[in-house]
Amino acid sequence: MSQNAILPIAIWAAIALAGLSLLGMGIFGLRSLVYGKVQPLSIAIIAIPGVLMAVLGSTMETWVQAGIYTLVVMFGLAALALLLTGLRKLFMM
């Protein structure tokens, strides 16, 4: 048995654990939404990167490009949110 025999198993185990954790977060997020513990707007805001990645991934040549564009767009949205929050606090004194 070679030294790297465990590597593919470890990679698939990590992918499976990540998938199970995303599935669990989705299920419990929907449960909280149904029970009224969370506002629908906060769920929509959390879903923006996933939706953006799915849309860009289906329209661009590669998923790598889609991931990079998603990252850049999310950085831009975060900077815009910080700017608007700062301006709102500046003028609401």
Q: Which amino acid is located at 66 in the chain?
A: A
Q: Which amino acid is located at 77 in the chain?
A: L
Residue-level pLDDT at 2 = 65
Residue-level pLDDT at 71 = 96
- Which DSSP symbol is given to 62? -
Q: Is 60 exceeded by the pLDDT of residue 1?
A: no
Q: Could you give the maximum distance between any two Cα atoms of the chain, in Å?
A: 69
Residue-level pLDDT at 84 = 94
Q: Tokens for 44? A: 């929509």
Q: Is 90 exceeded by the pLDDT of residue 19?
A: yes
Q: Is 80 exceeded by the pLDDT of residue 12?
A: yes
Q: Is 90 exceeded by the pLDDT of residue 21?
A: yes
Residue-level pLDDT at 43 = 85
Q: Tokens for 9? A: 């198993």
How does pLDDT run across 33-91, given as a tens digit for each residue?
Answer: 899 898 889 888 988 999 999 999 999 999 999 999 999 999 999 999 999 999 999 88
Burial class (CB in 10 A: 0-12, 13-18, 19+), 60: middle
